[in-house]
Amino acid sequence: MWRMTRYNLARISQYLFVLVFVMCAAAIGVGQRAEAHVTGLSWVATSTPYIVDIGYDSDEFQTGLNARFDFQLLDEKSGNTTPYDHVWVRFAHGDTTLLATGIRRQQLGPTTLLYGFKDSGAYTLEASFRDEDGNDMAAVSFPVTVRTASTRLLDYVVPGAAFFAGIVLGVAGAYVVSRKKTGYETRVRGS
């Protein structure tokens, strides 16, 4: 029968320590790369009688990383979502158009565009919300600044090292605990 002894309590606390340490290391390692996609910012502009809300998930746009943009059209007076058929989106870098596409409004969830910037610098995002006949309902333009992605080795090594250190310490801790268990059982049986 299992009893709460000093040995069992010590064993449980060791397992909990190892579990918490591994989870913290994993959270640090994973969190470093995921942090750019959780801010939920947006650009808002009035285009009477509508309000255009373009959400984006990064407070800093970087080359080589995808950025998500969500498009929403609201009634200016009520603030309620206004139906539209599609949104025409254009990304320009100077006088060069990099992307020009239409995105159908989603019936469930946000109308979304995922875009990866290849070069740093000043961009322009233009969005035109249109009805089913293709007529403009609202049109807006926003500046987008893209910086060069960090290529510092430490930005990638530190989270990875913390994650693997957590795994190594977890395995080592489990080994030590299992060795102590074997030694304790031998002493108990020998008594």
pLDDT digits (tens, 9 = 90+) for 7-28: 676 777 777 777 776 676 666 6
Q: Does residue 75 form part of some domain?
A: yes
Identify the pLDDT of residue 25.
61
User: Which tokens in the block code for residue 130?
Assistant: 């249109």
Identify the pLDDT of residue 170.
77
DSSP 50-85: EEEEEEES-SSEETTSEEEEEEEEEETTT--B---S
For 85, the domain range is 35-147
Identify the pLDDT of residue 50.
95
Place of tokens 């006088």: 95
Q: Does residue 25 form part of some domain?
A: no
Identify the pLDDT of residue 32.
40
Whether the CB-CB separation of 87 and 102 falls below 8 Å is answered with yes
User: Which tokens in the block code for residue 31?
Assistant: 């969190």
**pTM, full prediction:** 0.59
Tell me how crowded residue 104 is: count the other CB atoms within 10 A of its CB: 10
Q: How far apart, in whole angstroms, are the C-alpha atoms of residue 120 and residue 62?
A: 7
Identify the pLDDT of residue 143.
95
Q: Does residue 159 form part of some domain?
A: no
Q: State which residues of the chain have pLDDT below 50.
A: 31-39
Q: Does residue 157 form part of some domain?
A: no
Identify the pLDDT of residue 187.
55
Overall number of domains in the chain: 1
Q: How far apart, in whole angstroms, are the C-alpha atoms of residue 50 and residue 159?
A: 44
Q: Does residue 53 form part of some domain?
A: yes
Identify the pLDDT of residue 31.
46
pLDDT tens-digit series, residues 84-103: 999 999 999 999 999 999 99
Q: Does residue 166 form part of some domain?
A: no
CATH code, 133: 2.60.40.1930
Identify the pLDDT of residue 36.
30
Q: How far apart, in whole angstroms, are the C-alpha atoms of residue 30 and residue 46?
A: 38
